[in-house]
Structure formats: C-alpha cells, structure tokens
Structure 1
Amino acid sequence: MSFHANNRRTNLSPNLLALAICVASSAAVAADDSSATTHGDAAAPSVLELGATEIGATQLSSTTEGSGSYTTGPMQTATKLPLTIRETPQAVTVITRQRMDDQAMTSVNDVVRATPGLFLSQSSGPGRQTYSSRGFDIDNIMYDGLPSSYQPYSMAVQPNLAMFDRVEIIRGATGLVTGAGNPSAAINMVRKRPTITPQVTLTGAAGSWDDYRGEIDASGALNDNGTLRGRVVGSYQGADSFRDKEENDHGLFYAIGEADLSESTTATLGFSRQEEQTNYFWGGLPLGTDGHHLDLPRSTYPGTDWENKKLKIDTVFGEVDHRFDNDWKLHVAGSSSTLNGEFSGTYLSRYAGPLETTAYQSHNTDKQTAVDAFASGPIEAFGRTHEVVVGASHRVYDATSKEYSPYTTAWPIGAPKPDFVRDSKTRNVTTQEGVYLTSRFSLADPLTLILGGRLDWYDYDDRSGDGDYKVTRNLTRYAGLIYKLDDHYSVYASYTDIFNPQNSKDLSGKVLEPIVGENYEVGIKGEYFDGALNASLAVFQIDQKNRATLADSQVGCPVMTCYQASGKVRSQGIDAELQGALTENWQVGAGYTYTRAHYIKDENPDNNNQRFDTDTPEHLFKVSTMYRLQGPLEKLRVGGNVYWQSRMYNDVPVGAGSYRVEQGSYAVTDLMAGYEVNKHLDLQVNANNIFDRVYYSSIGYNTTWGSTDNYGNPRSYMLTAKYKF
C-alpha cells in the first residue's frame, strides 16, 4: 500500500489488493457447508445466538456480528472475568457491529462521538483528536484486551472499524487491566474472528464531498472438518471535505487465522496494515486578536499546499487458548506493532504580532509490544462456587522522533515548503510489567463480591537525556459488590484506581510519587429479555491526587524547579444508559452523562474550586435507534441519532484581561433508512446533521499560538450498498 500527497485517488497497492481478493476467494471456496459445526470455544463467534426477531429467545453471545443487536453478552474488559453488563460494577457501553453499520461508522472517532460519556475534541486539529471521559483524557486504547498507548499529539492512528466486531468501553479508572493511565475509560477494540460457515461481503459507499469507500470481507473454513479457519478484510476510502482543498485517504488489510490444535487448544495468528494520509491535520481557524470567533466560512482551509501527514502501522498478533478438564482455561496473547509517520504541518499564529504560519516537520517511529497471560476458572469453598483469574503482563513502548529545522514561528502565509533539514533525534522507552489477581466470590445467592489487585513495575528510559524515572511495585486495587434485587435488577458499589507516573522532582531530588486516580461508583442496573436489553444508572466520584504543585520553598532545590505531590482534581457526576432491544424489531442505544470536574488544590491557587477543563461540556446526551418495519414493509428499516451537548467555553487572555469565547449548547440530528432488496443485497442511506446546524466542535483558548476553532461537519449524505454471498 502506498499513498501520495499529491494524488488522493491512490488505490491500495495492486499486489496487496490482489492478495486480499485471492485469500478471500480461497476462504470462501475452501469452506464447506457440511463443516459448519462448533469446534470448542474457538468456533463460538460463528454461532450468532440472537437474530433480529428472536428477542428473549436465548442469552446473547459476546460476538455481535450478525446478531442485529445493540448490546452483547459477557465481556472481559473490566476485570478479565467474563461478566455481563449487569454483573459488571462499573458503567459499561458496547458499540456493536450492527450499530456501527447503521450509523455508517468508519473510525474510532465515530465510536467516541456515539458513546455515552465520551467526548471527542479536535482543538489541536482534525487529525490530532483527543478523547476524554469523566473529565480526563483517555491515554490507552486496547486491542482484544491488550493495552496500547494512545498519543494524540504525535502520530496516533484512528483504528479502522472494518476489522472489528465490537468496541467495549468501561468508564472510570481501569488500572486493573491497563496498568498506568488516567482515570477516564478503557476503550477495547475487539477484532472480527473467522467463522466456520463461509461468508463473503462486498461493500461500496459514496457520499458528500467525493467520499468513496470499498470493502471486502471474506471468512470460512479452510479444511473439510473446519478445524482451520481464516478471514480477510480489505478496505480503502478516499474523501475530500467540506473544507476547501482538504483530502484524506485510508487503507486497511487485515488477515486472521484460527486453528484447533486439539479439542482443547486453539491458536490464533493475525496481521493488519493500516495507512492514512491527509493534507490537513494540525491547527484550525484562529481566534481574533480580541478573543472572539472570526466566524469564517466553514469551507475555509487554513492549511498549506505542501502540508502532509502519512502514517503506516503494521501489527502482528497471536493468541493461544487451552481448556482444561476442570473448567479452567489458560489464555496467552501477544501483539507487536510498528508505526511510521511523516509529519509536515503548519498552524496559524501571531508570535510576532501579525498572522503568520508556524511550520514544523518530524518523522516518528513508534514500536509497541504487549504480552499477557492469565489462567481462570472456578474454585469451590464454603459450599459455593467462585471464580479466579491470575495473570501477568509485559508492555514496551519505544518511541523515536527525528526532528527537522527550521521549526519556525514566522513563516509567511502561502510561502513554499521550508527546506527542512534533520537536526536532532530523541528516543524514549517505557516498560511496564505487572502481575494481577481477580476473584469473584459468591457470598450468597443474590450477593457477589469482586476483589482484584495488581502490582506494576514502570520504567521510563530517556535515551536522549537524563529524564529517567521508575515506579516500583505500585499497587492497584479493585473492589465491587453486586446485590441482585430480583431476576431483572441489581445494585452495586465499586472502588477502582489507576496510577500515572510523573517526572517532577521534590526538594530532595526524588521523583514525585505517581498521580493516583480513585473511582467511587454506586448504581443500579436492569437486564431484560435474557440480556437483550440493558439499563443502568450510576453516580460516580473520581479523585485524582498527588498532582505536582510548586514546592512551598525552593531553597536547596537541586534542579531548576521543585514540586510537591499535593494537587487534587475531583470529578463528580451521573451516568445513565439504555442499550439493546425495546422490542424484537426495535434497537436503541441511549445515554445521558453529567460530569463536573474541578480543582480541589492546584499549583495556581486561583484555580481552586474552578472547572478543570472548561472546553469540554458538562452535559452529554446521545441516542441511536433503528426500527425494522413489519408486514408489507418488512424489508425496510429506519432510524436515526441525536447528539446534544451543553455549552463549553474558554477564558482567553487578552492584554491584561480576558475574553470568554464559547460554543453554546447544540443538538445534531442524523437519519438513516435501509432496504433489504433480497437475501444478498442491502441498500442504506445516511443523512447526517439534517438541519445543517453550524457549530464549533472545538474552540480556541489563545490568540497567539495554535489554539484553534474547528467547525463540526455540515449536512452530508452517504449511500451504502452491501452484497453478501
């Protein structure tokens, strides 16, 4: 695969595309209908247990593909125990394959925008997006349960949804499964798996601003008895934008194989390559010198003719699952990815007074490796059956950045590309090792206690300077108590925490203790139709403490500035959600979240009791729904989405004072309609922002440098045709 900055219509490499078609054809031909039988747990994804018209017929499986559902069965994202949404003592959301398809989602940005309690910000540019939950940035994205560092300001890739069955989101602190991070949320991208029964799907889509997408997805058994299965996905998307001159390309190749080595052992091996290219990713529309919005046309393109960002990420992953005779299981998983990114960009700035361009170039290489192994199973004690998970993990994040000069803040607008010359290189390696134990104790028929603990060793190695620091044997704790009121309702209370190392030093020259985020949560959950519909209401509080603040005295400080671990931020709120089937033909995913995050103690005393982050909304309401008509119109389905958020603002420094720039509360409405022409062909149209609401999806906070306004998408349309055989 290769993309070229000056040729947006570049297709997938002919060799890779031919390989995708060849493998897809082989998978379909080799699969035999007579082999469509279950081979242990590995084949379970091919057995989709809830059809669109079978509400309440049976318990949902974890796999969502083909279920027609907006919810799922047991998941392991929160604790590694296989828990349903009702059994998990935290706020949980799943974005299923059906919901992705109904909303024509293509990237994790779409998932974040649709998930209750999550906020998507692009204040540093449309290609440098940040995700937040409960007032804090999300800095880990998981893949099949393996955490991966997410660095939005450098070279983060937006995972292409074509290769995923579902996305599981746990809000709050998630240190038990991710190790270090913020007390925000865990986003777990769960990959599609091979099926025994043959299936091939071809998808084509065309939308506003020359947005075209093609996709092939083929899966099936590769031998007569179905013990060897394979799947391949290829995808390419090329699009312009509502902004003049903006161009984007996305390419994906994904292949995965499963083998039943015995009746008890299954091995999985997979590979993916994803590529992205865009000529607009940094900065946005500047604020006026007085702090006001300039209210320029939405089509304004603030980039340059030579601006470009190219990313390529290769990932190899594998798993081995062994099932013992005593119902215990062993799971070993590993992943290795290499990301290469070239970054030549600009943003508009006023460092010297007049509006000019800040120009910068870098070349990044990020390598991430993760290994995780755990055993799980039942134990008998005190006349009751309990569950235990014990495991260990190892992560390495190796980041190299090659910097170029000039890094200039005074490049004339519209000037040719600077003659960039590489002048420096930085490299840092972060290693995390952990061991963990989780137990679910059945205290009584209606009462369950979940206890978990994790020890982590964290090592940051700055190979370009002297900024090394370590954290040794950090203890992460997890506790949850769930009481079943009846067959449908449960109440719960939980405590979770997470640590985040920091490199500031105290007066003795010692690195400060890690920042700790503690999540307290109580709630009630409802489960209906054997889990086909889930409802929840939670109240939460997060305390993030040990934040670095200036030391009361700098006398004897061995470094330039000394700090103390005394800062604290508190986040409090309400989380309500409904997801799944209201009737056998009506799916819904809806949520309301209120979050107030504020400083308790900060380096700047003026911040105390003030909002922690004013350019994120305190209130979020999101609803998605889809209804399949009956009778003569049974082939037709209709649906839509509503996104509403409260106002957000920034107090922009202007001279000796400030000006409050804001985006008021707003709602965006989308509609969709689909028609099943026959068992092979399905057509769907999506109309987004149908009332063409003009709004800023992110707002600036400084008149001098790259803090910028970014408009949300205007009204747009997408037509999708899907053919299955």
Structure 2
Amino acid sequence: MLLPRLPLAILTVAVVSAVATLAAPSARAEVAPALAAGPVKTFSIAAQPLGSALTELARQAGVQLLVKPSLVAGKAAPAVEGHMTTAQALAKLLAGSDLVPELQADTLTVKPAAPAPAAERTDDMLPVVTVAASNERMQLPTEKTRSYTIDSTTAGSKIALSPKETPQSVSVLSRAEMDDFHLNGVNDALQHVTGVTVDQYETDRTDFNSRGFQITNFQFDGVGLPLIYQSQYGDIEMALYDRVEVLRGADGLNAQTGNPSATVNLIRKRPTYQFQASGNVSYGSWNTKRVEADISGPLNAAGTVAGRLVAVHQDGHSYIDRYKPSKDVLYGVIEASVTPDTLVTLGYSYQRNRSPGAQWGGLPLLDADGRQMSYGVGTSLAPSWAYFNTEEQRAFAELSQQLGAGWKWKTSAVYNDITSTANIFYPLGSLNADGTSGFSSYTSWWKESNRQLVLDTNVSGKFDLFGRSHDLVVGANFSRSELSNPSREGDTDYSDVSYAQLLAGTFPKPVFNGDILYTHYLDVRRSLYASSRWNLSDRVKLLLGINYTQAGSSGDASGTSYAQQSSGSAPYVGLTVDLTPQVTAYTSFTKIFNPQYQLDINSSLLGPARGQSLEAGIKGAFLDNRLNASLAVYRIRQTNIATDAGLNLATQQEYYTAGNATSKGIEAEVSGRLTPDWNVSAGATLLRIVGDDGLSARTFIPRKAAHLSTTYRVPALERKLTVGSSVRWQSATRFELAGEGTARQNAYASVDFMMRYDVDRHFSITGNLNNAFNNKHFATLEYDRALYAAPLNGSVTLTWRY
C-alpha cells in the first residue's frame, strides 16, 4: 500500500485546515496563599474527566486522595504539565469546578466551595488512593523540558526509574539537542550518544555498534524487532520523535533478545492537550532544502481526545557524485480517554526515501597489491541509473487501562511494512598496478519486503510486603517477521570496466534478465517476561527479572530450505545502593540468549548467540536532578556471534560466519542542565575487544572515543541568542584483510557549531556548521570498501512556533 503522494502545497493546506478546527482550552486559577508553599514537582496530566485527573495528580504527588464521586461527576479537567508545587497543580485542575482543595501532610481532600450538605453519606467516598512518597518522577516530553537529560526511563526493566536508579548505563538524546544541532536523521542523531559508533559503509546502509558489538535492537516506544540483516536500510527521520533512549548492555527483558551491545528506543511525539504548532524551512549545502510542519492539540470540546500531525519533505544533492537523496515523511497519532481509566492511542507513520546514484559496496580500500587507496571526498563508482529506495509504514495501537490500587494493564500492537528496491552496481576486483584496470561489473535488480507483527501486553504496579512497597511487571510478547527478497542479475555481469569509466559513472544500464533468485524467511518468537524491584531498605534496591523466549525460523535461500527451533532464558539481577542522596552505586548481571536468523555460506542458520554481561558503576543526580552523571565498567563474553562475511554470489544475499569475542570497557557520561541557560551532554569510552586467540577483534571500532555537545543562552542579550558546539573524537582504527593488506585511519575529531537567535517568541533563525575544520576521514573501516564522511557543510533554518 502506498501513501498518496500529495504535493507539498496541498499538504500545507491540509495542515492549516486542521489548525482551524482545533481549540485550545485555557484557564487561570488563583492559588490560595496557604497552599502556595511546598516543593516543586514535575507534573504531566492529560486533559480528562476531573475524577481521574485528581487520581493521577495524587499518584504523581505521592499523596492520599479523598473525594466524593458526586462532586466530580460530569466535570472535566484541563491538562497540567510542567514544574510546580502540588498546590499550584491543584489550582489548575480545579479552576472553574466550584471545588476547593485541602492539603494536610500527605492527605488531599477535595471539598465543595460551600459546606457540603449533611445528608451526603460518607460511604460515597472513593477508595483511598495511596501513592508512597518517593523520589520517582514522571517524565515530561523533552520538547517541553528543553533539557539534555530526562527524569525517568523504563529502559531495562519496564519500571519507571530515574537514570540514577537504573542499574545499567542509559543515555538520552533529547528533542532540544536534536533541534539545536539539526539532527534530522538517525545516523547524525546517534553520533551524539555516548558509547555508540555509527558505521555507515554505503550511502544507504549503516551498522551501529556499542561495547564492541553490533546494535540490532531498535525499538519504537519500547516495542520492536531486530534489524534486518543487522543493518539499517535508508534513513530514519527524527522529526517524529521526542527523544532517543539508549540502554547499553544486554536488554533481554524488554527486547526479546539479550544482545549485549545496546538497545535504541525511539520515543514518538504524542498529542498535547493544549494547542501548539510549529514549522520550519531550511536550506543547506549541496542545495539541500527541507520543510517541516508539526501541529498538535485537542480534538473535542471536552479535551478527552487529542491528535498530532507531523510532515516533512527534504531533497537536494550531496557531496557524493551523482547521489541525490530525498525523503517524504508523514506521521499522525490520536489519543483518546474513552473512560476515566482507559486511554487508547492509534498512530501511523510513512517514510519514503529516494536515493538515485546510490552506492553499493563503496570505494575499495586496497589496490591489487594491498596498498591503501585514496580518493576525493565525493568520489563515487556508482552510475546515475543505480538507486536504493526504501519505504517504511509503521502502524501502532495502544490500550492503557488503570486497574485500581496503582496497577495498570498496557497492551501494544504494532504492524510494520518495510520495503526496499534497488538497481545495484557493484565493482568487483581492485585496481591493478597500471592504474586503469582490474575491475569487472556485477549488477542486479533487487527487492526486499519485510512485514512485521508485534504484540506486547503487561501488567504493572506496586505491592506491599514486609512493610515495604515493591514494583512488579509481568508480561508476554509475540512477534512474527516475514521477509521476501527476489533479485535478478543483469546481462552485462562480470564484464571488464575501466577505472576511468567507474569514476565517471558511465557504465551502461544493463537488462535485468537473469534467473530470478529468491530468498524467503519466517521468524516467529514468543516470550514471557517478569521484572521486579524490591525495596530492601531506604538505601538498597534489588532488581530481579527473567525473559523466556521460544524462537522458530524457517525459509528458503535460492532453493536451499532451512528450519530451526531454539529456546532459552535471560535472567537479570541488578542492585543499587544509595551512598548519599545524590550518589548511587550499582551492579547488574544478565545472561545472553540471542536467537539469530543469519545464514552461513551453505545457507544454514547459525543458531543463537549466547553469553553473559556484567556491569558495575556509580551514578549521580545533581542540581535538583537537572544533571545526571555516571561512571561504569563492564565485561561481556559472547559466543556464536553472527559476523558479516560478504556477499554470497550464489544467492545474492549476505552470508555470515560465527565468532566469539570478549569485550571490556569503561564509560563515563554527564548530561543535563548546569544552569537554566547552559545545557551539556558529554561522554567518553575506553574498550578492549579480543577473540579466542587473544588478538584484537573488530578493529574498525575505535578503542577510545569522546564527545561533548553544549549550548549556552546568553543572558546579556535577553536570552535571545543561543550559541553551541559539538565535538566528537575517536582513536585510530584499521581494516585488515588477511594476506592482502591493511587500511588505516588515524585518530580524528569532528567539530560542529550552532547559533540561534530568537526574534520573538514565535520566530527564530538557526545556523549550523558541521565538520567546521573540514576533516577528511572515512565514515567507517568496517569492510574492505568504504565512503568518506561529509566534508564542511552548513544550513540555515527559519522556525515558527505557536
């Protein structure tokens, strides 16, 4: 199914029309002086019926609620979001309701403005809602906080904890940082995350690595499947997302698989219950043009239904010869409070990437004599008729049901339809000593379709035992992923092609009339999981969890059938000890069970990877939790890891070998707000990866890396001017081809600058300069072919917000 391809003008009219239909309720209320005092908390309460809104406020504030149902029946409450005292939040909720709050100690009583009639029965009172006072915070969307850190995450356990309370390393890339540094694609975004290396080995295929191993777990709102063939095809547009949370280390509880690298969780933007809209237009290097619109608000007068629409168009040329990427993106989501305790969410996104002139394989690193090659930054060996196009359609539905007594049931259903099509040109061979020959052609028409279904349901809440309150999550997950991949070779395959012809991109387009090669696989997984957090004392918390997964894979690769069944469990243990109110020590251990569907050279499945991951460290939360810091050490041992070994010409598919590796390392990170005007995100990593022979493995991954992103809003200019910089440094890397040669890349740093001026509260102009010192380096040395990272480039963006 294809989305109708509306011209941008029509889409703009549709967005403007939608704006006209939305209404944003507003209310002002006085705060009684007696209630105005108190600690500032973070509240995030959707517009909904007043009774359920008061229940939610009590939960977030950590107080007991007493209110008669007759007082709140038929009344609605506006949305309340932001940092404020409990009394101020109450004033906003109760504005215009003829009710007043009475807050004494940890008990909140809601009364009518006039004395209640004596005839009213006391047994009409709602059951007392008890929420233990704690340091737990609700996480506001980062587009609201404009901070470089978060207050709360469910990464690793599905239990909402602060980063300091989570016994694993967690990094976040917030909406503010993405906006500041113009991070519109997932490759650019993840370069700003501690411990993640972005290995773009072709124009439209990228691998991601962390702690020495490949990241395959990509989730959307906590639900997802491993990447196809371990690589990301095409681009993921970041305008759809509020933030990216990256849990480093194994995540067997949340991700079905215990891949020990990291889990990348992209958190979608959600509807707001107060009207807001924004749009921006940008122009950048290589004639890159971009238009983006984002609109959100309530869809009914009661404020119980809200929607959001995001649209993006981008096109232009590139620093790479003959490569002209473009993309169109549309995202819509609706959220409805169908009852005071029931929230339903429906969403859909569509992204189409078009990439004429796409490279397949990149530039050969070594010549025929094993000497390292050098090229101009924009060199391409792909002809103009080559392309790599992708389309991603993602639909999701969520049901969240409050069960009472602090328990919640949540069910998610996800359906993805991901399609790639390509005309491939791959130059076989390497340059001879004469400097003119040594290459032959390989061409193919190629299509891949992957349909995924994921169902996840869980129940979460608190229970009391031995005089303390504890957390528990129990759930089940089902996934089905089916892939079909036909391809057909061209009629000019294996013919000689000169080096000059490759550089000019003039190799003629063939007729794709070869035999159709077909690959098909079906991967089905069923999982049960449980996660708990035991409150052993005021300072000591124990996290226990387990995931049990049954995985079945079957298929056919060019006539060779295969099938495999496997099952295993991934237990998890974590411990945190509060050394001071600001500093916590932690440790965690998990076993690795990672079903794999990769095939070897004989089209046989490799079987699951297994191993274990151990981590320990210290975390801190400072400046009223505005700044998070961590220091971690880890050790990972993994066996039977699928490692890409190249293209199997017999099947037209990548094939893999199995390997073992041990990774050890240290990671340090600081992120958040040093002052109200100064944001910072900084991190450093040091790691060692060896194989069973004790020698360095995966040498394309830098052993040392560091990054710093920071922005400062200048008070002297009425805080209208924001300046910032981002620096990323990595140590030397190399690619070794046994018996043929070695390609090396020295350590390098890439420096970016940004500047934004807020003309008024609606308009701003932002300038970004990337790779400001024009450092020339390869994007990765993962394979025997590569491409250069982008040289000096920049953009200017005009933004309007309402």
One-letter identity of the residue aligned with 1:350: G
Question: Quick check: 2:728–2:750 contact (8 Å CA) kept in 1?
Answer: yes
What is aligned with 1:668? 750
Distance in structure 2 (CA, Å) of the matches to 1:245 and 1:328: 57
What is aligned with 1:593? 685
What is aligned with 1:416? 508
Distance in structure 2 (CA, Å) of the matches to 1:213 and 1:69: 25
> Which of 646, 670, 673 is residue 731 of structure 2 equivalent to?
646
What is aligned with 1:288? 367
2:406 paired with 1:312: no
One-letter identity of the residue aligned with 1:314: Q
Quote how far apart the aligned CAs of 1:402 are: 0.8
What is aligned with 2:347? 270
2:531 paired with 1:438: yes
**Higher Cα Rg, which structure:** 2
Would the alpha carbon gap of residues 98 and 155 (structure 1) be closer, same or farther in structure 2, given more than 3 Å must change?
closer
Question: Quick check: 1:520–1:540 contact (8 Å CA) kept in 2?
Answer: yes
What is aligned with 2:264? 187
SS at match of 1:427: strand
Distance in structure 2 (CA, Å) of the matches to 1:680 and 1:493: 47
Distance in structure 2 (CA, Å) of the matches to 1:499 and 1:216: 42
Question: Quick check: 2:597–2:607 contact (8 Å CA) kept in 1?
Answer: no
Deviations 1:276-314 (A, max 9, x none): 011214222223223333222112222112101111111
One-letter identity of the residue aligned with 1:369: L
2:632 paired with 1:538: yes
Question: Quick check: 2:637–2:661 contact (8 Å CA) kept in 1?
Answer: yes
Question: Quick check: 1:27–1:231 contact (8 Å CA) kept in 2?
Answer: no
Quote how far apart the aligned CAs of 1:351 are: 7.4
One-letter identity of the residue aligned with 1:49: G
Question: Quick check: 2:525–2:551 contact (8 Å CA) kept in 1?
Answer: yes
Would the alpha carbon gap of residues 21 and 65 (structure 1) be closer, same or farther in structure 2, given more than 3 Å must change?
farther
Question: Quick check: 1:241–1:247 contact (8 Å CA) kept in 2?
Answer: yes
One-letter identity of the residue aligned with 1:495: F
> Which of 436, 458, 471 is residue 566 of structure 2 equivalent to?
471
Would the alpha carbon gap of residues 47 and 496 (structure 1) be closer, same or farther in structure 2, given more than 3 Å must change?
farther
What is aligned with 1:78? 156
Quote how far apart the aligned CAs of 1:660 are: 2.6
One-letter identity of the residue aligned with 1:357: S
Quote how far apart the aligned CAs of 1:529 are: 2.7
Would the alpha carbon gap of residues 167 and 153 (structure 1) be closer, same or farther in structure 2, given more than 3 Å must change?
closer
Deviations 1:659-716 (A, max 9, x none): 3320000011111010110010011101111111111222375xxxxx2132111111
> Which of 550, 553, 560 is residue 460 of structure 1 equivalent to?
553
2:82 paired with 1:49: yes
Quote how far apart the aligned CAs of 1:185 are: 0.4
Distance in structure 1 (CA, Å) of the matches to 2:215 and 2:197: 10
What is aligned with 2:465? 381
Would the alpha carbon gap of residues 410 and 175 (structure 1) be closer, same or farther in structure 2, given more than 3 Å must change?
farther
Would the alpha carbon gap of residues 16 and 262 (structure 1) be closer, same or farther in structure 2, given more than 3 Å must change?
farther
What is aligned with 2:771? 689
What is aligned with 1:495? 589
Question: Quick check: 1:49–1:58 contact (8 Å CA) kept in 2?
Answer: no
- When the two structures are aligned, how many residues end up with a matched partner? 677
Question: Quick check: 1:139–1:181 contact (8 Å CA) kept in 2?
Answer: no
Quote how far apart the aligned CAs of 1:229 are: 0.2
Quote how far apart the aligned CAs of 1:503 are: 7.4
Would the alpha carbon gap of residues 100 and 74 (structure 1) be closer, same or farther in structure 2, given more than 3 Å must change?
same
What's the TM-score, normalizing by structure 1?
Answer: 0.88
Question: Quick check: 1:28–1:220 contact (8 Å CA) kept in 2?
Answer: no
Quote how far apart the aligned CAs of 1:584 are: 1.4
Deviations 1:140-178 (A, max 9, x none): 210000022212677724321111000000001111111
What's the TM-score, normalizing by structure 2?
Answer: 0.80
What is aligned with 2:181? 103
- Structure of greater relative contact order (alpha carbons < 8 Å, 6+ residues apart): 1
Distance in structure 1 (CA, Å) of the matches to 2:354 and 2:605: 40
What is aligned with 1:603? none
Question: Quick check: 1:155–1:311 contact (8 Å CA) kept in 2?
Answer: no
> Which of 233, 241, 249 is residue 318 of structure 2 equivalent to?
241
What is aligned with 2:454? 370
> Which of 198, 204, 225 is residue 302 of structure 2 equivalent to?
225
Question: Quick check: 1:48–1:64 contact (8 Å CA) kept in 2?
Answer: no
SS at match of 1:109: helix
SS at match of 2:144: coil
2:147 paired with 1:69: yes
Quote how far apart the aligned CAs of 1:59 are: 5.5
Question: Quick check: 1:491–1:524 contact (8 Å CA) kept in 2?
Answer: yes
Distance in structure 2 (CA, Å) of the matches to 1:419 and 1:225: 61
Distance in structure 2 (CA, Å) of the matches to 1:457 and 1:400: 23
Would the alpha carbon gap of residues 15 and 142 (structure 1) be closer, same or farther in structure 2, given more than 3 Å must change?
same
Quote how far apart the aligned CAs of 1:67 are: 1.2
Distance in structure 1 (CA, Å) of the matches to 2:496 and 2:385: 13
SS at match of 2:26: helix
Question: Quick check: 2:372–2:742 contact (8 Å CA) kept in 1?
Answer: no
What is aligned with 1:573? 665
Distance in structure 2 (CA, Å) of the matches to 1:522 and 1:67: 30
Distance in structure 1 (CA, Å) of the matches to 2:381 and 2:540: 58
Would the alpha carbon gap of residues 409 and 226 (structure 1) be closer, same or farther in structure 2, given more than 3 Å must change?
farther
One-letter identity of the residue aligned with 2:667: D
One-letter identity of the residue aligned with 2:747: S
One-letter identity of the residue aligned with 1:468: A
Deviations 1:336-363 (A, max 9, x none): 0111221112232217971233222211
Question: Quick check: 1:176–1:498 contact (8 Å CA) kept in 2?
Answer: no
Deviations 1:435-470 (A, max 9, x none): 101000000100000000011110001155431001
Would the alpha carbon gap of residues 275 and 47 (structure 1) be closer, same or farther in structure 2, given more than 3 Å must change?
farther
Would the alpha carbon gap of residues 283 and 48 (structure 1) be closer, same or farther in structure 2, given more than 3 Å must change?
farther
2:377 paired with 1:298: yes
Would the alpha carbon gap of residues 100 and 378 (structure 1) be closer, same or farther in structure 2, given more than 3 Å must change?
same
> Which of 214, 228, 239 is residue 162 of structure 1 equivalent to?
239
User: After the TM superposition, which parts of structure 1 deviate over 6 Å for at least 4 consecutive aligned residues?
Assistant: 41-46, 503-506, 510-513
Quote how far apart the aligned CAs of 1:324 are: 2.1
SS at match of 1:26: helix
What is aligned with 1:38? 47
> Which of 5, 24, 36 is residue 13 of structure 1 equivalent to?
5
Distance in structure 2 (CA, Å) of the matches to 1:37 and 1:269: 16
Distance in structure 1 (CA, Å) of the matches to 2:208 and 2:770: 21
Gaps of 5+ in 1: 4-11, 52-56, 550-564, 601-607, 702-706
